[in-house]
A and B are shown apart, each in its own frame.
Chain A
Amino acid sequence: MAVYEQTYKQYLGKLTPEWSRFLIIPRHAFRDVFKSKLFTAFFIVCFAPLLVEAILIYLHHNVNALAILKVNVRELIPIDAFFFQTFVNLQASFAFFVTLLIGPPLVARDLRNNALPLYLCRPFSRAEYVLGKMSVLLILLSTITWIPQLLLFCFQAYLEGAGWFVDNLWIASAIFIGSVVWILLLALLSQAVSALVKWRVIASAALLGIFFIPSVFGEVINQLFLTRWGNIISLGALMNNVSAGLFGTFVRTTGHMTDFDGSVGREIVMNEPPLWASWFALGLICMICLALLSRKVKAYEVVK
C-alpha cells in the first residue's frame, strides 16, 4: 500500500512482542501530556524539593561549604529515616497534584469518544489497556518519587561510606515500598474515577473529593466518638500510617483526653488504627478500583 501504488497491501513485516504493547499507550500519552507548557513547568517544579534534599545531603558532608555558609552541622536536619520520610511525603503530595492534572482524562476521553472498541478489536486485551493507561501515571510519578529518592539515598551512602549503606538498606526499601504503594493507589483511583466519569473536570473534582471528603468525615467521627478510627476512611491518614510504619516512626498512641461525664473524669487514650488495618483498608480500596475498572473498561457497555 505504498503512497505511489494506491492499492491494498497486507503487512508482511515483523511484529513487536505482545508483552511490550501496553507501553505504546504511555509513549503516545507523554507526547500529549508534555504539549502543555503549564504541566511541563509544574513537573519541573516537582523536582525542586529533591534539589533541596540533595543540597542538604551534600552540605552534611562538605566541611568547606558549611564553613563558607557559617552553618554548624548540628544545625542541619540529621540524615536518617525521618529525613527521607519527610521528603518522600513531600514528593507524595506533588505526585497527587500530577495525578490530578493528567489522571482523570486518561480513560474518560476514550470512553467519551467510543475509542475502546478500537483498542480492543486488536490483539490488545482489557488488562493491557488498563496497564497501559496506568503506566502513564506509574512512569511519571516514579520519576518524581522513588527513583530520585533512591538515587539520593545512594548519594548519601556514597558520601557516608559502605557501612552506612548496609546499616540503612531498610530505608531504601521503605522509600521504594512507600512510594510504590502511593503511586499505585493514585493510579488505580484516578483510573477508576476516570472510567466512571466521562468528563475531565468532573473526574478531577471527584478525585479531589475522594481524598478530602472522607478525611473530613473521618475527623468528624474522631471528634464525635473520641477515637482515631475515623482515620480508616481518610486516604491521607492511611498513607501516613503506612509510611510511618515502613520508616519505623509509627506511634499508635497519639494523645490522651479526659472525658467528663457529669463530674467524673474518664481518661481516654487516642489510638491510631493498627498498621494491619491501614494496609487492609488500602488493599480493599485497590480491589474496589480494580473491580470498577473491570466493569467499566469494555468495548461496549451492554444496557440491560
Chain B
Amino acid sequence: MAVAEKIYEHAALRNPANFAPVIDLNDLSVRFGRRPILQNLNGELRGRAIGLLGPNGAGKTTLIHTLLGFHPPASGTAHIFGRDIITDAQQIRSLIGYMPERDSFIAKMSAVHFVRLMAELSGLPSEAALERAHEALFYVGLGEARYRSLDTYSLGMKQLAKLAQAIVHGPRLIFLDEPTNGLDPPARARMIRLVREIRDSGKANIVLSSHLLLDVEECCEEILILKDGRLAVYCNLEAERKANRKFLILETRGDQHKFVEAIGALGCEFALTGDTRVKVVLQDGIEVRDLYRIAAQQNIQIRRLSYKRDSLEDIFLKAMENGHGGL
C-alpha cells in the first residue's frame, strides 16, 4: 500500500467529514427472485461505528451481504470508501473484515490455525499471519484456548473466534452481524467492550447489525433503521447526544387543545401522546414556570411533569410506526 494512501486513510479516520463516506448508498435495491428485499436505499454514512437496526427480516444481513458482494444489486449501487461494490469488489474485500451471524468455521482446526488461515487468505505472508493470529486471539481473550479445536468451543468462545478472524488482518472496516447473539451477560459485556475499543482506537470503522437496541446504543454513533427493506430512519446518535435535546412529558387534566396551542405560540415543539399526555420540547428562553403560567391561564391542571431524552427505543418504535425516512 502506498504511503500516500496510508496517510489518507489515517486522516480520513480522524476527520471523516472531509473524505469519502464509509458507505455511500445510491438507490440500492436487491431482489431475490421476484421478491424485493432491499428497496431504494440512499444515504451517506461516515460514523466510526454505524448501527444497522431493524426487526428480523428487515434486510440488515442482506444489506451487509450486498456490500460484501455476495448478492448483486438489482438496481442502484453502493460505494465503500469511495470504491464501487461491483467494479472494485476485490479491492473492497481487502479493506474489510466480516463476522457472520451464523456459526462459520473450518472444521477440525484449532483456533490459531483457523485464524492464521483466514489471515493468509487476506494476503498476509505465512509468518506474519501466524503472529497476527496469536495476537488477535489474545486480544479477544482466547489466548489460553487458542490451541484447542474450534469444535470444542462454547458459543461465546466461537463468537470471539469469529471476531478474531474478522480483525486479524487489521481491516479498515469491520462488519459485525449480530455479534452478541446467544451470549450470556458477561460475554456480551466483553464483546461490547471489544467493539468499543476497536471503535475508539480510531483505526477501523465498524458496521454493527443487531436487533438489540442496547448493543447498538452502547457502540454506535450513527444508526440506520431498516423496515421491510426500506430505510425507515437515519439518526446520528452522536449529534443527538451533543444537542442534548431534552423534552418534557406533561400529564394534564382539562382542555389540552387550547393548552398546546398556547405552547405552540411560544415557539415550542409539542406532541399529544394520549388523552392526558403532552410531549413538549422547550426552546431557549422558555422556562417550566412559563408552562405553569399558561396552564393557569387556560385553566389546565398539570398533574405530573418529567424530563426525558429521546432514547434509541423511542426512535426505533417511532420508525416502526411511521413510514419511511431518509438521510
Residues on A lying within 8 angstroms of B by beta carbon are 1-3, 6-16, 18, 21, 24, 28, 32, 109-110, 112-115, 117-125, 298-300, 302, 304
Contact = CB atoms under 8 A, between A and B. Distances in A.
B123 A8 contact: no
Contacts of A18: 90, 123
A300 B203 contact: no
Interface string B85-106: 0000011011011101011111
B124 A11 contact: yes
A3 B138 contact: yes
A45 to B, nearest CB: 24
Contacts of A9: 135, 170, 201, 203
A124 B92 CA distance: 11
Contacts of A299: 65, 68, 70
What is the size category of the interface that chain B forms with chain A? 35 or more
A162 to B, nearest CB: 43
Interface in B1-22: 1, 6
A2 B203 CA distance: 15
A299 B101 CA distance: 13
A24 B103 contact: no
A118 B118 contact: yes
B34 to A, nearest CB: 9
A121 B96 contact: yes
Interface of B: 1, 6, 32-33, 35, 65, 68-71, 90-91, 93-94, 96-98, 100, 102-109, 113, 117-118, 120-125, 128, 132, 134-136, 138-139, 143, 165, 167, 169-172, 197-198, 201, 203-204
B192 to A, nearest CB: 15
Contacts of A13: 124-125, 128
Contacts of B172: 10
Contacts of A24: 117, 120-121
Contacts of B33: 302, 304
Contact of A11 (B104, B109, B169): B169
A298 B70 CA distance: 8
B123 A6 contact: no
Contact of A123 (B1, B105, B123, B143): B123
